[in-house]
Amino acid sequence: MGSFWWFLAVPLGIAAVWAILAPRNQWRSLFSSSVANAHSSEPGGAAFAYRQVIAAIALGGALLMIVLTMVWGAAREPVAPPETSGIEQTWGAPQPLLVYRTFQLSTAGDATLVNVPIDSYLPVNDEERAPLYLLDLEPFSRLGTTNIPGYIGSQPSETDSTISRADVVVKVRGPLLCVPRRVVAIETPERVQIAVLYGLPTPSDGSVPDNIAGCPLDEDLTASVLIPINLSDPIGKRTVETLDGAPLMMVNPGS
């Protein structure tokens, strides 16, 4: 359909421009042979001026057809989907936040904290390749603040120390107003059991917050978080489970 309008608009535009710039030449070239006496039959100046007005209108119509054809063609072109980054291909969108901290693992849970579900995990040290791409992620924050009382661990002293030492990265989705406070890892030769415990920030008055009430798992406002974890040994062929023994899902890089 678009090619038809191009085929119609382009010759019309050329003829209109010719009629505007050289109306007498156009008449002599196209119409003089159809009359017996070309000299006496040639239109006067007023007739040529009238032809120029008509040609200008035709030129405007031709230009309008060209514009509409281009707009119509652009609207029909398929829109390419936005490119997905490697991080989003692996961990999903929107990109998760990164818990970039140095911390000690616990070997037991804590009933006063909330055990948030682990969505997935990825071994990262079995082939001695550190997931340095994680450093491109935004650091974990609470309401825009990264200096949070009670937030697990401390800021690493070296730029990539935590990432380069990590053996596994886990993804959790925790309540937006709460923070990761403890990571539990129980290792045996056959399995690795992992848990991430959330809680409220430590109050400035030294009181003990009610983490169970303040960090409900059915909270609508949540945030995806990646936590690099340094184990005693790489995961290897060991299974990865929750503390209850339920298997965790491993993601495929770039899938």
> Rounded to 5, what percent of the chain is helix, strand, coil?
35, 20, 45
pLDDT value at 1 more than 60: no
d(CA 169, CA 233): 14
Do strands 118-123 and 168-175 pair parallel, antiparallel, or not at all (unpaired)?
antiparallel
pLDDT score at 32: 61
Supply φ then ψ for residue 81, to 5 degrees.
-65, 150
73 Cβ partners below 8 Å, 6+ apart?
2
d(CA 29, CA 160): 80
177-215 pLDDT tens trace: 899 999 999 999 999 999 999 999 999 888 889 999 999
Asked if 53 and 44 touch (Cβ cutoff 8 Å), the reply is no
Do strands 179-187 and 222-229 pair parallel, antiparallel, or not at all (unpaired)?
unpaired
d(CA 251, CA 128): 18
pLDDT value at 20 more than 80: no
184 beta partners: 106, 195
List the single range of 17-21, 23-27, 79-83, 109-113 with lowest mean pLDDT: 79-83
87-133 pLDDT tens trace: 777 888 788 999 989 899 999 999 999 999 999 999 987 555 667 78
| Residue labelled with tokens 């239109």 | 43
Q: How far apart, in Å, do the first and last CA atoms of the chain sit?
A: 40
Burial state string for 122-133 with b = 16 or more CB within 10 A and e = fewer than 16: bbbbeeeebbee
d(CA 229, CA 201): 21
pLDDT score at 168: 92
SS3 label, residue 237: coil
Supply φ then ψ for residue 5, to 5 degrees.
-70, -35
pLDDT score at 147: 87
When pLDDT is cut at 50, 70 and 90, the band that residue 41 belongs to is low
pLDDT score at 146: 85
When pLDDT is cut at 50, 70 and 90, the band that residue 238 belongs to is very high
pLDDT score at 44: 64
Burial of 138 (0-12, 13-18, 19+ CB in 10 A): exposed
